[in-house]
A and B are shown apart, each in its own frame.
Chain A
């Protein structure tokens, strides 16, 4: 007993991190199987069993916990394969979903299509009912309208029904009544009710979120059934937890109810992985980036807390459930280089993907990619890519760069390759600027954690763009998110709209307490159902506040004591302070009314974190790991130089060296430029400083 496994299902690879008792780890990558992703999951588990030399069935029974991240729901929405869904909504407003408030993201492109709505108009059915902004029922629910709609849904063969009525955040009665009728009449259908999914003001965001939840509900349920059946057949006895967009995990039962919580979960474990990496450094503020084949994810963590947003989108539709604030841009090893009509060089966002892949894969790719440039520059080794599993074709890489970039720009191949390397680094640095500078943080005050298969080749160069002088390459760089999954807690978010002025200190706060109690009760039941004892439960309350007349609100954490004493003046003070920090001013002196929009409750169930394996310090010399030298491009000298190459897997705690150097491991390669020093810490991370 005692294995813990993090599994991250990505577009190309499914990543595995196995952690044995004592912290010993084992890494595995398996090609993903998009038709039924659980096949790759099971194949990977079998491979891990073999690696442990334990029969598969026994191995499975010895697994204590599996934490699983999946892009099943995301892919369903992006590829237009969401479940057939119907929408029941207030008469007069059936188009809010498709209208998306009338935005066209590309203003000068008259062929830019709106994204197809998950629910076509003929399945968006209006019913007579109405609640006003204050929560009063102006018109009761017309049950006959609901009955007629149910018939349409039945004949339309829907698998899911979303219900969203105007102002149900203020009074859920009509909506709840409609939900009851639909659930009774269509018991096999997945029902997604806005006042259960997101009882929060803003009709478009709530409708869109409720519909997305409906559209992926049956798909996630189906997938989880398939996975749990396979595990059951092997008599799996451990717990299975699913990664959510909010950076926490939840039981399969809980996520099946709120399937949309998995829609932005892909990179959501990165902050937790970063925190674990930083344990040896005793630091809790940093920027993490993860550069894979097609995309680059960047997140900022301050004092151990990653930024959370409620304005995410999936396929250009709003998803207002709380999710980690992660900036994803199209930059990766497969990013394609191209020249515009004005003669300027660009990298991506188009990617050669895994098939045909970069030109150097020799699978028929002719477009020059970032990986091709890295190979030409000597940062990758043709014989040792992916531990030697893929042999890279240098000639093909050179040909692609010469024909498509060097010749048209009138430069030599190396200049062109370095140009590609430089441009993509600038793109990635811009993505980091958006989550740091543009949020009011100076990136130079944060160390950079640089993960992903391709990340460590670019880490130092990206950091130099931003003036960051310390870069950490995690030991499990290529399966970074999978490693984070084992370190996440259970997390559930609740919200209730409660629009009105924030009461004066100790003022009338009956409604606030009532809604808080309601959320607390719901949270306790859910966590208890997930087997979390009371002493491991943490509930945190916050409020969305703004100045009267403002459009954007600020989320302010409310200390427990303030809740207990109804000390809203303390909350008001915090709001002024936070507003000042975020936006450069507050209206404390003006005495402007502070408006309350939403109450929120974050419920956390603490899980036991696996121990991190710390290694004893070895001597400083890295000589034992030296493999030889290779010619690699040195940007400072604008020429190739002989660069020592080390076996990264044989470097460990205490080893120190100075750049230029290349540290090669099976799944990644670290470039240490001239002027940088590299040192390994107790957790096996490599830290570059300059």
Chain B
């Protein structure tokens, strides 16, 4: 008998339908969650998984969550085995059993057809608090996981449709903020929306036919990725990069050692030989490193390939336990997502020979500063992660400048900077400046994206700031590629009312910041790509006229002579400089 081939039209239709179900789940969370990090910064993901926990389709608003749910879903299945029933709801955050960050709490809901488990609906979101020693979860002083968070291994909060009140109370008795309870309820609501949508698909196609179509959906995504890998020349490609300061000992640096092997249609990423885990929180759980790797890899291939488990099939990851990229229990790991920048750097470097036109130069590394304190205007506490000040530039690439003010590669432009007016209405802060930082972009035929400069007066009382990030060291500047120059580095300083200035370390809690302190941050630019002297003269002139490159830098880095007062191009001088270089 001829083997039945699934109808490609129906597969197309199914993929579109699955996508719209996860989008609907996402909109439900946007509407119903209370914490701004969920409904404003959109730090969550919604997805559907098959009976084995394989990702069918997902809607994420920031890339670092693109593959954050599947490992946890597989763990839930392993743990509960056949003890999974209609009406169950399972909670999970544990980074030592598939979680990617303590604050990211996942809700899983099994979907049944009759008595048969056929799929899962899941939502994972970054919670405003998760217990531990420090409100909000970022604790540079942590030395083990319990100082960071409440661990939630796979646990049923609903069993056969009934809320387990005792378990629920145990969990929320250990979390500071009540809105977290509300947000978890919203995530359960999102899963119910997903379950309803999936059941409609079963009604429409029939369970067996649906399973066949899903198989074909995986195959089709796999085929697309294999074709992309096939196009890369076989070989072993190495890339390394560094993360700086472990938050415990000044001057420390951690190495990422990456070997990429391309053989035919398959790729192996091997992190063996990377630095050992650190005593502080600068460690990643396995899932965080895998997410960082996958989001960077997705940037190297066609952007329109559907994101389902099929694309993982040709990819093998070797990441031995005990390194700071796969820390051993009970390490502190909250910084893990922030190692995405250094990991991406290593990947771009490794692929620079294999896919020279797809890699970007280095992205500005993430440096965040979360402020909390007392707002005298409302006599109430306030808290803010300063998204507006931390968004630097991305690296240039073949045929495109880096993206200005895009921010960390984990989010790739998915998280918005605060609006200035809303920022001043919400927080006791008075802005002085927020503009592109001149000469911050690494020079190149395609220059890096611009960084920004932010200055504001802190008028909150008894404020505390938690710094977490990277990129202040000379070596941590966003690197240039193929003759391109590095971007400008990060810096945060506090100028106290008594006039004293204090630079802030990249991992540090600053307590007792007085009202009237001026906060200043430079978020650096991305690295440049290609010889700067090959950049068209009119593009350089345009940047100088716009004041984002100084006349001095134009002459030095690009060999373009421009009169600094009139901003008129000096043609002869330019020709002479460029000729001398050639």
| Min C-beta distance of B455 to chain A, whole Å | 8
Q: Counting CB contacts under 8 A, is A204 at the interface? A: yes
**B413 partner, pick from A93, A103, A419, beta carbons under 8 A:** A103
- A88-121 CB contact bits vs B (8 Å, 1 = yes)? 0000111110110111111111111110000011
Q: Is the CB of A121 within 8 A of B546?
A: yes
Which residues of A (222-272) have their CB < 8 Å from a CB of B?
Answer: none
Given A111-B399, A341-B227, A345-B8, A423–B32 Cβ distance below 8 Å? no
Q: Counting CB contacts under 8 A, is A384 at the interface? A: no
Q: Counting CB contacts under 8 A, is A133 at the interface? A: yes
Q: Counting CB contacts under 8 A, is B233 at the interface? A: no
Which residues of A (584-638) have their CB < 8 Å from a CB of B?
Answer: 584-585
Residue of A nearest to B179 (CB): A549
Q: Counting CB contacts under 8 A, is A508 at the interface? A: no
| Min C-beta distance of A523 to chain B, whole Å | 25
Q: Counting CB contacts under 8 A, is B24 at the interface? A: yes
Q: Counting CB contacts under 8 A, is B360 at the interface? A: yes
**A106 partner, pick from B189, B295, B303, beta carbons under 8 A:** B303
Residue of B nearest to A167 (CB): B421
Q: Is the CB of B421 within 8 A of A166?
A: yes
Residue of A nearest to B567 (CB): A122
Q: Counting CB contacts under 8 A, is B164 at the interface? A: no
Q: Counting CB contacts under 8 A, is A188 at the interface? A: no
Q: Is the CB of A111 within 8 A of B224?
A: no
Q: Counting CB contacts under 8 A, is A342 at the interface? A: yes
Q: Counting CB contacts under 8 A, is A184 at the interface? A: no
Q: Counting CB contacts under 8 A, is A552 at the interface? A: yes
| Min C-beta distance of A96 to chain B, whole Å | 7
Q: Counting CB contacts under 8 A, is A422 at the interface? A: yes
Q: Is the CB of A202 within 8 A of B434?
A: no
**B546 partner, pick from A120, A205, A346, A426, beta carbons under 8 A:** A120
Across-interface contacts of A427 in B (CB, < 8 A): 16
Q: Is the CB of B420 within 8 A of A96?
A: yes
Q: Is the CB of A345 within 8 A of B221?
A: no
Cα distance A344–B19 in the bound complex, in angstroms? 15
Across-interface contacts of A105 in B (CB, < 8 A): 413
Across-interface contacts of B422 in A (CB, < 8 A): 201-202, 551
Q: Is the CB of A101 within 8 A of B220?
A: no
Q: Is the CB of A341 within 8 A of B413?
A: no
Q: Counting CB contacts under 8 A, is A33 at the interface? A: no
Interface of A is mostly: loop
- B537-549 CB contact bits vs A (8 Å, 1 = yes)? 0000010011110
Cα distance A345–B16 in the bound complex, in angstroms? 11
Cα distance A98–B404 in the bound complex, in angstroms? 9
Q: Is the CB of B298 within 8 A of A344?
A: no
Q: Counting CB contacts under 8 A, is A57 at the interface? A: no
Most buried by B among A132, A203, A344: A344
Q: Is the CB of B548 within 8 A of A102?
A: no
Q: Counting CB contacts under 8 A, is A430 at the interface? A: yes
Q: Is the CB of A409 within 8 A of B62?
A: no
Q: Counting CB contacts under 8 A, is B405 at the interface? A: yes
| Min C-beta distance of A307 to chain B, whole Å | 15
Q: Is the CB of A122 within 8 A of B547?
A: yes
Q: Is the CB of A107 within 8 A of B414?
A: yes
Residue of A nearest to B36 (CB): A551
Q: Counting CB contacts under 8 A, is A514 at the interface? A: no
Q: Counting CB contacts under 8 A, is B419 at the interface? A: yes
Q: Is the CB of A92 within 8 A of B12?
A: no
Q: Is the CB of B412 within 8 A of A438?
A: no
Residue of A nearest to B28 (CB): A584
Q: Is the CB of A344 within 8 A of B39?
A: no
Q: Is the CB of B417 within 8 A of A102?
A: yes
Q: Which stretch (B117-125, B285-293, B425-433) binds chain A?
A: B425-433
Which residues of B (402-453) have their CB < 8 Å from a CB of A?
Answer: 403-407, 411-422, 424-426, 430-436, 452
Cα distance A343–B221 in the bound complex, in angstroms? 9
Q: Counting CB contacts under 8 A, is B394 at the interface? A: yes
Q: Counting CB contacts under 8 A, is B23 at the interface? A: yes
Q: Is the CB of A93 within 8 A of B434?
A: yes
**B305 partner, pick from A342, A409, A438, A585, beta carbons under 8 A:** A342
Q: Is the CB of A433 within 8 A of B20?
A: yes
Across-interface contacts of B9 in A (CB, < 8 A): 345, 418-419, 422-423
| Min C-beta distance of B539 to chain A, whole Å | 13
Given A343-B220, A345-B8, A104–B13 Cβ distance below 8 Å? no
Across-interface contacts of A582 in B (CB, < 8 A): 31
Residue of A nearest to B17 (CB): A426
Q: Counting CB contacts under 8 A, is B304 at the interface? A: yes
Q: Is the CB of A92 within 8 A of B305?
A: no
Cα distance A346–B400 in the bound complex, in angstroms? 27
Which residues of B (198-241) have their CB < 8 Å from a CB of A?
Answer: 220-221, 223-224, 227-228
Q: Is the CB of B20 within 8 A of A430?
A: yes
Q: Is the CB of B417 within 8 A of A121?
A: no
| Min C-beta distance of B187 to chain A, whole Å | 13
Across-interface contacts of A103 in B (CB, < 8 A): 413-414, 416
Q: Is the CB of A101 within 8 A of B419?
A: yes
Across-interface contacts of A110 in B (CB, < 8 A): 299, 358, 360, 394, 397, 400, 403
| Min C-beta distance of B504 to chain A, whole Å | 22
Across-interface contacts of B304 in A (CB, < 8 A): 340
Cα distance A108–B405 in the bound complex, in angstroms? 16
Which residues of B (35-76) have their CB < 8 Å from a CB of A?
Answer: 36, 39-40, 62-63
Which residues of A (309-350) have their CB < 8 Å from a CB of B?
Answer: 340-346
**B221 partner, pick from A98, A133, A342, A549, beta carbons under 8 A:** A342
Q: Counting CB contacts under 8 A, is B15 at the interface? A: yes
Across-interface contacts of A346 in B (CB, < 8 A): 12
Residue of B nearest to A440 (CB): B31
| Min C-beta distance of B509 to chain A, whole Å | 24
Q: Is the CB of A102 within 8 A of B416?
A: yes
Cα distance A437–B27 in the bound complex, in angstroms? 10
Given A110-B360, A111-B400, A169-B421, A121–B548 Cβ distance below 8 Å? yes
Across-interface contacts of B220 in A (CB, < 8 A): 342-344
| Min C-beta distance of B484 to chain A, whole Å | 14
Given A93-B434, A107-B62, A102–B36 Cβ distance below 8 Å? no
Across-interface contacts of B328 in A (CB, < 8 A): none
Q: Is the CB of B227 within 8 A of A99?
A: no
Q: Is the CB of A438 within 8 A of B413?
A: no
Residue of B nearest to A124 (CB): B546
Q: Counting CB contacts under 8 A, is B391 at the interface? A: yes
30 interchain pairs (CB within 8 A)?
A92-B433, A92-B455, A93-B433, A95-B436, A98-B404, A101-B417, A102-B413, A104-B412, A105-B413, A107-B411, A109-B303, A120-B545, A133-B421, A133-B424, A166-B431, A202-B421, A203-B420, A341-B227, A342-B223, A422-B9, A422-B13, A423-B12, A427-B16, A430-B20, A433-B20, A437-B24, A438-B24, A438-B27, A551-B36, A582-B31
Q: Which chain B residues have a beta carbon within 8 Å of chain A's beta carbons?
A: 8-9, 11-13, 15-17, 20, 23-24, 27, 31-32, 36, 39-40, 62-63, 189, 220-221, 223-224, 227-228, 295, 298-299, 302-306, 358, 360, 388, 391, 394, 397, 399-400, 403-407, 411-422, 424-426, 430-436, 452, 455, 542, 545-548
Nearest 9 A-B pairs (CB), nearest first?
A104-B413, A342-B220, A121-B546, A419-B9, A92-B433, A342-B224, A107-B412, A133-B424, A111-B400
Give me 13 other A-B pairs in contact (C-beta within 8 A), A102-B388, A343-B220 excluded: A99-B405, A101-B417, A102-B405, A107-B62, A107-B414, A108-B295, A110-B358, A122-B545, A133-B424, A202-B421, A345-B8, A345-B12, A427-B16
